[in-house]
């Protein structure tokens, strides 16, 4: 099976974070799902500025709700990223087609969603007392680790001979 990485942002609030995530997804060939309501408009200048000229390179999909997202991708392998998880993301076993779901910056994923999928919740290891990582950093950590485990399929692993 071909590697297919999906990043799902549930109700993202900060346009700059989403713009940075657009760049990460574009660079990696990951599909980006935005689950409404969004805390900004897609025309937001901060969002566009953070995403630079990467917008045409990203496969961006919008969903009206989490229910609509699950209805569209019911066959997916879902992993819920939360500081409340017992399982470290480093210990997870992810199939080639995986969906990593991230919550809003200020509150994370809903507790009832996490409780319903406790065995699919993963956390990024951090020092005790650290509250959280920036959302765009957390996405980058999980996305690169997922692809590293597969040898970075479809990505250039060394610089072109001309240095560009």
Domains observed in the chain: 4-148 (3.40.1280.10)
Residue partners of 100: CB distance under 8 A and separation at least 6: 5, 6, 7, 8, 79, 81, 139, 142, 143, 146
pTM above 0.85, yes or no: yes
In degrees, to the nearest 5, what angle opens at C-alpha 111 toward C-alphas 107 and 112?
140
- Each residue's pLDDT expressed in tens, for the chain with a length of 164 residues: 577 999 999 999 998 899 899 999 999 999 999 999 998 777 756 556 655 577 788 999 999 999 999 999 988 899 999 999 999 999 988 999 999 999 999 999 999 999 999 999 999 999 988 888 999 999 999 999 999 999 988 888 776 666 66
């Amino acid at each position: 099976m071909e590697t297919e990485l999906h990043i799902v942002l549930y109700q993202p609030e900060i346009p700059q974070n989403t713009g940075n995530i657009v760049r990460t997804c574009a660079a990696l060939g990951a599909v980006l799902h935005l689950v409404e309501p969004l805390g900004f408009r897609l025309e937001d200048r901060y969002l566009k500025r953070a995403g630079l000229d990467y917008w045409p390179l990203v496969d961006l999909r919008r969903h009206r709700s989490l229910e609509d997202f699950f209805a569209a991708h019911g066959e997916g392998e879902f992993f819920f990223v939360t500081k409340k998880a017992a399982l470290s993301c480093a210990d997870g076993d992810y199939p080639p087609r995986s969906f990593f779901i991230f919550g809003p910056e200020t509150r994370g994923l809903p507790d009832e969603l996490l409780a319903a999928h406790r065995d699919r919740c993963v956390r990024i290891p951090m020092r005790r007392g650290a509250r959280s990582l920036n959302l765009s950093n957390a996405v980058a950590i999980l996305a690169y680790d997922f692809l590293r485990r597969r040898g970075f399929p479809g990505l250039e692993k060394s610089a072109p001979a001309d240095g560009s």
